[in-house]
């Protein structure tokens, strides 16, 4: 009796299992039929194109004169006149400023008097030497003739010293007048009328109207990457359509103690008139780098800790996930250097809804 009941129970459980298995098989077949009947998912793609990534970066700087001279007096004194203002155009020998000349004029008059006295002494000594030469050896001794000759030589030395003193006094007087040694425009003033200035203190700064430089504060990493022979595209910050090109002309040997940046001067080949001194400009350094494909950031798909993109197979129109090596991320796109080939169709919209092997349909506007 017990054996009959166990057998019946086993047959009932087997029947239930067969029914469940049949249900699963029927459901699977229905899913496959629905998947085959489901229309391809619409996606938008772009074709991969590898190009040298030639733009390294850009920095903001300013236009400065190639040559700028700070004029100062050699000796200190009181500024009596200043004949120029900021923005004035000057030519060679244009008077920029004058110091008080009273002391220098007194020194000049003293030097002139010393020279007059020395010349008078020399004339007397030379007359005595000539007289002794006529009397020797008849009525004069050798000792007297030699003494007269020595006195004349000393008097000549006194004249030479007095002439040197006069030249120094004249130079000191001339140095009280500050003149430009080249044509240019006044960019700064360092001394006002009535001010006591020291020797070497900047009174007027003049920038020569000639070649101009674009000056930038550049990080050390950029200098090491680009080198000193890079070409730089420079454009006016207020009007980017006004452009010029140049070459790195000078790199400061020391970094700024606060920013740790280096001052780089770019010599402009031909600077437009709109590139005025002090104008803000943007400089872009271009280098031929490793070929890279630029893709919109919407194409990026995270595969664990790696980056990947969805590629549409051209023949089957199905998707596959391809790991890629990202060179750099920008604001709206990123650069891929490895993992893709030129001509690959990368999905750029709806990547989160895709699965491997999924049939897709390219939307209008896709680039193949």
Handedness of CA 286, 292, 297, 303 (dihedral sign): negative
Given 160, 175, 190, the domain boundary residue is: 175
Cβ(61)–Cβ(248) under 8 Å?
A: no
Q: What is the pLDDT of residue 263?
A: 94
Q: What is the pLDDT of residue 12?
A: 47
User: What radius of gyration do the chain's Cα atoms show?
Assistant: 46
Q: What is the pLDDT of residue 289?
A: 65
Q: How do residues 38-96 score in pLDDT, each as one tens digit? A: 678 888 999 999 887 655 568 899 999 999 999 999 989 999 999 999 999 999 999 99
Mean pLDDT of 274-290: 84
Q: Are 148 and 47 part of one and the same domain? A: no
- Domain CATH code at residue 74: 2.40.50.100
Q: What is the pLDDT of residue 228?
A: 62
pTM, entire model:
0.56
Q: Tell me the two tokens of residue 20.
A: 């469940």
Report residue 351's pLDDT band, with 50, 70 and 90 as the boundaries. Answer: confident
Q: How do residues 166-213 score in pLDDT, each as one tens digit? A: 999 999 999 999 999 989 999 999 999 999 999 999 999 999 988 999
- Return all residues near 28 (Cβ < 8 A) that are at least 6 apart: none
Q: What is the pLDDT of residue 14?
A: 46
Mean pLDDT of 315-342: 89
Domain ranges, residue 350: 41-53+291-362
Q: What is the pLDDT of residue 236?
A: 94
Report residue 117's pLDDT band, with 50, 70 and 90 as the boundaries. Answer: very high
In a domain, 214, yes or no: no
Mean pLDDT of the chain: 85
Q: What is the pLDDT of residue 1?
A: 47
Given 152, 186, 207, the domain boundary residue is: 207
Beta strands of 219-276 (E only): which ranges?
Answer: 231-236, 243-251, 262-268
What single DSSP character describes residue 363? P
- Report residue 262 CA to chain centroid gap: 8
Q: What is the pLDDT of residue 212?
A: 93
Q: Reply yes or no on whether the pLDDT at 32 is more than 50.
A: no
Q: Are 72 and 191 part of one and the same domain? A: yes
Q: Are 304 and 350 part of one and the same domain? A: yes
d(C-alpha 125, C-alpha 143), whole Å: 15
Q: What is the pLDDT of residue 26?
A: 44
Cβ(186)–Cβ(88) under 8 Å?
A: yes
Mean pLDDT of 211-237: 83
Q: How many domains does the chain have?
A: 3
Residue 163 or residue 15, greater confidence:
163
- Domain CATH code at residue 106: 1.10.287
| Exposure b/e, 265-291, CB count within 10 A at least 16 = b | bbbbeebeeebeeebebbbbbbeebee
Q: What is the pLDDT of residue 33?
A: 47
Q: What is the pLDDT of residue 53?
A: 64
């Amino acid at each position: 009796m017990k054996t009959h009941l166990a057998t019946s129970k086993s047959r009932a459980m087997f029947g239930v299992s067969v029914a469940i298995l049949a249900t699963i098989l029927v459901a699977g077949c229905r899913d496959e039929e629905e998947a085959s009947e489901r229309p391809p998912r619409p996606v938008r793609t772009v074709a991969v194109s590898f190009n040298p990534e030639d733009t390294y970066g850009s920095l903001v700087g300013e236009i400065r004169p190639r040559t700028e001279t700070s004029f100062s007096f050699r000796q200190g004194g009181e500024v009596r006149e200043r004949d120029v203002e900021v923005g004035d155009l000057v030519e060679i020998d244009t008077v920029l400023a004058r110091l008080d000349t009273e002391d220098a004029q007194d020194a000049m008059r003293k030097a002139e008097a010393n020279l007059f006295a020395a010349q008078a002494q020399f004339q007397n000594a030379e007359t005595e030497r000539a007289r002794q030469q006529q009397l020797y050896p008849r009525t004069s001794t050798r000792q007297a003739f030699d003494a007269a000759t020595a006195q004349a030589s000393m008097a000549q030395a006194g004249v030479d010293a007095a002439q040197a003193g006069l030249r120094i006094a004249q130079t000191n007087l001339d140095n009280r007048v500050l003149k430009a040694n080249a044509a240019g425009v006044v960019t700064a003033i360092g001394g006002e009328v009535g001010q006591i200035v020291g020797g070497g203190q900047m009174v007027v700064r003049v920038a020569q109207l000639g070649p101009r430089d674009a000056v930038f504060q550049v990080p050390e990493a950029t200098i090491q990457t680009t080198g000193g022979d890079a070409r730089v595209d420079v454009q006016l910050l207020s009007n980017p359509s006004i452009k010029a090109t140049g070459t790195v002309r000078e790199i400061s040997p020391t970094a700024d103690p606060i920013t740790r940046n280096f001052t780089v001067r770019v010599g402009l080949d031909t600077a437009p008139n709109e590139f005025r001194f002090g104008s803000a400009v943007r400089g872009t350094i271009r280098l031929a780098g490793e070929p890279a494909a630029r893709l919109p950031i919407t194409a990026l798909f995270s595969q664990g800790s790696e980056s990947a993109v969805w590629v549409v197979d051209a023949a089957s129109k199905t998707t596959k996930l391809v790991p890629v090596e990202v060179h750099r991320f920008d604001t709206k796109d990123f650069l891929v250097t490895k993992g893709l080939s030129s001509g690959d169709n990368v999905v750029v919209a709806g990547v989160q809804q895709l699965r491997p092997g999924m049939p897709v349909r390219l939307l209008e506007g896709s680039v193949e």
